[in-house]
Structure 1
C-alpha cells in the first residue's frame, strides 16, 4: 500500500484552512485581516499617529495664546501671578520668568495665528490620511481624483464635523462619569451603598461604550470618500467601541505601574500618547476592514480594462535555393533514380 503522493499532500488543507471552513466567524476575521494587510493598514495607522502627535504642538501654541488673551483682560490676575513667582522664585530667575510671561502675553496674537495656521495644516493632513485609510479598508477605488481645492474643502468640512461630534461625545462621557452620576443620585436622595457603587460603575462603562459606539460609527460610515453601508458601520463601530474600552482599561493599569519611575514620568506621557493613537487607529481601521468583508459588502472587485490591442505586421523573407544548391539537388536525384533503375534490372 503506497502513501499519498506529493501532489495530494500539497492539496491537503492546512490547519487555518480547516478552521476557516469549520467556523464562519473565524473565516470572517481572517478575511478582515487579509483586507487590512493588503490595504496597508499599519502604514496608514502610523501616518495617523504621526499627524496626531504633530498637531499637538500648534494646539499648545493656541492654548498659550488663549491664556495670553485671558491674562491680558485681567490685569489683577497678572499681578497675582507675578507676586507668586517672586515669592517662590528668588533672584534673577524669578525676574526672567516674569519677563518671559509678559513677552508671551504681548505676542499672544502672533502665536495664536501661527498656531491656528499650523494646526489647520496638520489637521487637514491628519484628516486626509484618515479618510484615505478608511476608503482603502472599504475597498473603494476611484478612477477620477477630486481637485486639490475641492479635496481640501471636503477634508476641512469633515474635520469640523468630526470635531463637533467629538465635543458632543466628550460631553456625554462627562455626564456618564461615576462621580457625576453619584452626585445626581445623591441629589435625588438615594443612599450610598456598595451595590449602588457597582451599578454606577457598570452604568459608567455602558455609557462610555455607547458614546464610543456613536463616535466610531460616525467615523467608519461618514468619513470615507464614498458612501458606505450604515448598518455594517454600526456593527463595526460596536466592535471598535468594546475593543477601545478594553484597551483603555488595560492602558490605565499599565500606565499606573510605568509612571511611578523617573524615566516613566519623563517619557511616559509622550510614549503613552503615541501608543494610544496608534492602537486606536489600528482598531478603527481593522473594524472598518471587518465591516467591508461582511458577505453583503463583498462585491466583485473592479477589473481594470485591458490596454489597446497592438497589431504588428511581420514580414519574413525566405530566400530560395541558390544555383549550386539546385544543381546538387538535381544531381542527387539523378543518381538516386539511376541506382534504383539498375537495382530493378537485376
Structure 2
C-alpha cells in the first residue's frame, strides 16, 4: 500500500510538473505573438509613413522646380494628292472648252493623226504639179479666148499661197498654163495616180478621226468614188479662188467708179472685205471636206464650227508661213531649198490642222451622245392552228359513236 501511495505521489508530482511546463510554454508563445504583433504594427506604421514622406518630397520638388511647358501638338500629315486633285483634271472640270480640247488631242493621237498627216503631206507635194497641169488644161479649154478670167484665176491661186511661197506657186502655175495643151495621156495618168493616192489617204484620215469603223470596200467602186470626190474638191477650190479673185476685181472696179482708188481707208476696207470673202469661201470648202469626204458622210451642221476654226487656222498658218519663209530664204542655201521645205512644212501643218479640227468636232458632246430610237410597238396576234384529222381519227370517232349507240340500246 505504501508503494501505491508512493506511485500516486509520483504521478501527482509529474502531473504538476507537466502543468507548469505547459503554462510556461503558453506564456512564452503569447509573448512571441505579442512581439511579432508589435513588429508588424511598427512596420505598418513605417509603410504608411513612407508614401506620405515621398509624396511630400515630390510636392516640395514640384513646387520649387519651374513649370513644364506644354508640348506642341503634332501637325497632321498632309494627304497625298490623288489623280483627281491634280491641276489638269481640276482645270478640265472647271473649263468645259479645255476639256473638249484635251479630248480632241487624245482622240487625234489615238487615231494616228500624225501618221495620216505625214501621208497626206507626201501625196500633196507629189500630186501638186500634175493636178495643176490637168486642172489648168481643163480650165484652158473651158476659158478659151478669155485670158482675163484665166489670169484672175491664176492670181487668186498665187494670193492664196503663203507669202514666201508666192513665187513658187507662180512658177508652177505658169508651167502648168504653158503645158496645158500638151498635157496628154502621161500627165493625166500621173495626175490620176497621185491625186487618187492623196484623196484616198485624206478620206481614210477623216474617217478615222470621226471614229468611224474602216470597212473593207470593193476596190473599183472605192477608187471611182475617190475620183469623184477629187473632182468635187477641185471644183470647190476653183469656186473659192474664183470668188476671191472676182471679189477683189469687183472691189477695184467699184473704187475706180467712185474715184476712191487712191484713198487709204478705201484700200484698207477693200483689203478687209477681200479677207472676209476669202474666209467665207474657205469655210464653205472646209464644210464640204469635213462632212462629205469621210467614208460615212455626216451632217453638214456638225462641221460648221470646225470649218470656221479651220478657215481661221488656215489664214493664221499662211501668215506664219510667210514669216518663216522670209527668215529661211535669207541665206543662199535657204533661197535654193527654202521654198520646197516651206511647202512641205506648210502642207504638213495644214493636214494636222484639218485632222485636229475633225477630231475636235467628233469629240463634241452632241456628236458623242447618240439618240437610241425606241423599238416599234409590239403587235400581239393569236396564233390559231387547225389540225385536220386523218383516217385513223375518223375510224376511231366512228367506232366510239357505234359503241355509245349499242350501250344506249341495251340500257333501254
Provide TM-score, normalisation by structure 1: 0.68
How far the C-alpha of 1:171 sits from its partner, in A, is: 0.4
Please give the alpha-carbon distance, in whole angstroms, between the structure 2 residues aligned to 1:120 and 1:271: 25
Which residue of 1 is the match for residue 268 of structure 2? 198
8 A Cα contact 2:92 2:99, kept in partner: yes
Which has the higher Rg, Structure 1 or Structure 2?
2
Matched, 1:273 2:343: yes
Which residue of 2 is the match for residue 159 of structure 1? 230
Please give the alpha-carbon distance, in whole angstroms, between the structure 2 residues aligned to 1:140 and 1:292: 10
CA, structure 1 residues 225+59, in 2 after alignment: closer, same or farther (shift >3 Å)?
closer
Which residue of 1 is the match for residue 306 of structure 2? 236
Which residue of 1 is the match for residue 77 of structure 2? 3
Which residue of 2 is the match for residue 287 of structure 1? 357
CA, structure 1 residues 64+293, in 2 after alignment: closer, same or farther (shift >3 Å)?
closer
Matched, 1:133 2:205: yes
Matched, 1:249 2:319: yes
CA, structure 1 residues 259+180, in 2 after alignment: closer, same or farther (shift >3 Å)?
farther
How far the C-alpha of 1:112 sits from its partner, in A, is: 2.7
Encode CA deviations 1:143-178: one digit per residue, 9 max, x unaligned: x4211011111101101111111111110121243x
The structure with higher relative contact order (CA 8 Å, sep 6+) is 1
How far the C-alpha of 1:201 sits from its partner, in A, is: 2.0
8 A Cα contact 2:243 2:281, kept in partner: yes
User: RMSD between aligned alpha carbons?
Assistant: 2.6
CA, structure 1 residues 290+62, in 2 after alignment: closer, same or farther (shift >3 Å)?
closer
8 A Cα contact 2:261 2:267, kept in partner: no
User: What is the 5 A alignment of 1:1-346?
Assistant: 1-5=75-79, 9-59=81-131, 112-142=184-214, 144-177=215-248, 181-190=251-260, 192-299=262-369
8 A Cα contact 1:65 1:112, kept in partner: no
- After superposing on structure 2, the runs of 4+ consecutive aligned residues of structure 1 that deviate more than 6 Å are 63-66
Encode CA deviations 1:76-110: one digit per residue, 9 max, x unaligned: xxxxxxxxxxxxxxxxxxxxxxxxxxxxx9xx86x
Count residues with an aligned counterpart. 256
Q: Which runs of 5+ in 2 are unaligned?
A: 1-74, 142-177, 371-412
SS in 2 for 1:239: helix
Q: Which runs of 5+ in 1 are unaligned?
A: 70-104, 301-346
